[in-house]
Structure 1
């Protein structure tokens, strides 16, 4: 990985990063239509390059088996979370990636603390875990709809006016704990404009193949647009930290949102810089002995070692299998 390429990636995502300690107002600070003067026709090549880079680093991450990566995706309805996952992760080995979507909590989940159901799905070392919606629902949907807080069976003292500040602190502490233990956290908020959401809703209604993606509940949530914008702004202000910063990804242009998501994830993996494990002298001697045995088994007329003859190296697979 050239330093120049790493610098270009860092420069692209820097305007999206929420500076820890800053006070965010989405409408003022982040433009959903921003596209960094990149043309859409150049976007295909950029995304393809990013996907190739991610595939390489994911193989190394799995082989090193030391770090894990958790990607948290948040957005309003029609923000493009599913498409971002599908496109950005299209080149990686599925064995090394786990995607978890979080819906309405079950009765069992409500019988535990609010982080319990998320902790159960954290990635292992060597894996990339993706939360399609995440523990941040607990300070977004639950905040906009206080009736959800009442369903969580909290004692009265835990439902006072300080509940949201406590949750911000608890989430920050939890993410710090994960980071200290080798799990890097990538937090992406896909920032969609109200008008673009309206257009995407209409497309889901007008195109029969997309009808299944639309729910009347989506429109009811849209009526709470301003409430969600305030909740997102407070969340970004309170939980963008040095160890787990938020990136506000402009989502009105899907192709640019995917480039940005790939760039943020690549930036994280570049920072980890995972390496393939090196084998010791004893293992090398064992490999050389096994190689000689395999070469002696070659059929008459066949090359003893076709890879060595052709000067090729075998590809390494991602994942742990």
Structure 2
């Protein structure tokens, strides 16, 4: 199977999504890809235990993508071998009344993973510069002091919001959070196929909403907003990765491999050693237990 390089998917300069492929040929059949994913996720699960014991880094994984891009199944398959004590998944929906009574980053900040843990954001703080940018009327619901009409939601407003997001990520990175941001790059044709499967398969009907079709009509607007958001906020300490998402097994493997290959570069992440006093008395502790 073809090996992958993390840097092939990392956004290090401005991109045009229309020129970024939504497919990637791993030169292997589905079964081999799934077997390779299983191997990588087992290694990730083992590494998670080390991170938990080490207790000095938190890992934040942000997953964004259009409807049907495969966010839910990505989380299910990539983190299947994790100990549940070491990972928390948050799926951010429409803000609640309580959340709207705080600044837009509040609900994301309180959901950040503790040191030693992985946190996965299924949809993220970027919804606040994606959905709200396509539908600026949603901003009015935030009841902001300087926003009284749609006309107040101008370029200056978005510039400030992008700066706030960059500052937020810079702050948590400086305090020990390792950040990964994955954009599941889906083609419009593949989204159509997946929406049709939702309608045609009774077991998938519950996932469909007529609103999906309304949002699909705004595809170009969303692509423009995604492109701008990625280009403005892909930083060394908080990089975006553009993941070809038309084939789900391939996308899952690429994400898992990026996580593992990046994390093992942190040579300071090791399991803590026993203190000298305990280490010197290990034989005595063993004898005590064996003599019961």
Query: What TM-score comes out, normalization by structure 2 length?
Result: 0.94
Whether contact under 8 Å (1:17, 1:247) holds in the other structure is yes
- 2:58 is the counterpart of 1:65: no
SS at match of 1:173: helix
Whether contact under 8 Å (1:249, 1:260) holds in the other structure is yes
Corresponding residue for 1:282? 277
Deviation, 1:267, is: 2.5
CA distance in structure 2 between the partners assigned to 1:271 and 1:182 by the alignment = 15
Deviation, 1:9, is: 11
CA deviation map 1:248-271 (0-9, x unaligned):
000000000000110121123212
CA distance in structure 2 between the partners assigned to 1:41 and 1:91 by the alignment = 18
CA distance in structure 1 between the partners assigned to 2:58 and 2:146 by the alignment = 37
CA distance in structure 2 between the partners assigned to 1:141 and 1:202 by the alignment = 23
Corresponding residue for 1:316? none
Corresponding residue for 1:167? 161
Corresponding residue for 1:17? 10
- 2:145 is the counterpart of 1:155: yes
Whether contact under 8 Å (1:68, 1:184) holds in the other structure is yes
Deviation, 1:49, is: 1.4
CA deviation map 1:16-50 (0-9, x unaligned):
1101xx2221011x111223444434212210111
- 2:78 is the counterpart of 1:88: yes
Whether contact under 8 Å (2:4, 2:254) holds in the other structure is no
Ranges in structure 1 where 5+ consecutive residues have no aligned partner:
1-7, 298-321
CA distance in structure 1 between the partners assigned to 2:111 and 2:121 by the alignment = 9
Ranges in structure 2 where 5+ consecutive residues have no aligned partner:
none
SS at match of 1:82: helix
Query: What TM-score comes out, normalization by structure 1 length?
Result: 0.86
Instruction: Give the aligned CA root-mean-square deviation in angstroms.
Output: 1.7
Number of aligned residue pairs? 287
SS at match of 1:156: coil
Give the alignment of 1:115-134 within 5 angstroms: 115-134=105-124
Whether contact under 8 Å (1:186, 1:268) holds in the other structure is no
Give the alignment of 1:149-228 within 5 angstroms: 149-156=139-146, 159-228=153-222
Runs (4 or more) in structure 1 with deviation over 4 Å come to 8-11
